[in-house]
């Protein structure tokens, strides 16, 4: 959803250039890369990057760690809760897990 919102913000800010890409409007399309003048302050860029990491990247990493941890713990917990006489030998357990 964020890439779509970012695209919409850029199109809104540069509507003339957006129309020029399709041959509409009065402007000629500017297709070269240019650095922003004046450049953004380093503090601003740093804060934005930290916020993106905290609110976009970190939750996905946390969910990945929880999922990987949970997958391993669920199997270990199931083996501990079922008595050895009921679950059979270790070979049977491994054979059941590989299915």
Is 47:57 a contact under the CB 8 Å cutoff?
A: no
* pLDDT over 90 (residue 85): no
d(CA 65, CA 47): 26
| pLDDT at residue 80, as a whole number | 58
Q: Pick the residue with more confidence: 21 or 97? A: 21
* pLDDT over 70 (residue 93): no
32-76 per-position pLDDT tens digit: 998 988 999 999 999 999 999 999 899 988 888 888 777 766 555
Question: If you count DSSP H runs as helices and E runs as strands, how many of each does the chain have, helices first?
Answer: 6, 0
* pLDDT over 60 (residue 88): no
| pLDDT at residue 69, as a whole number | 76
């Amino acid at each position: 959803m964020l890439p779509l919102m970012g695209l919409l913000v850029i199109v809104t800010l540069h509507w003339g250039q957006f129309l020029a890409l399709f041959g509409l409007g009065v402007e000629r399309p500017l297709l070269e890369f240019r650095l922003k003048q004046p450049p953004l302050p380093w503090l601003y860029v740093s804060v934005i990057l930290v916020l993106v990491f905290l609110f976009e990247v970190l939750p996905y990493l946390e969910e990945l760690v929880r999922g990987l941890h949970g997958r391993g713990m669920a199997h270990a917990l199931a083996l501990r809760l079922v008595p050895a006489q009921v679950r059979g030998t270790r070979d049977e357990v491994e054979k059941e897990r590989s299915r």
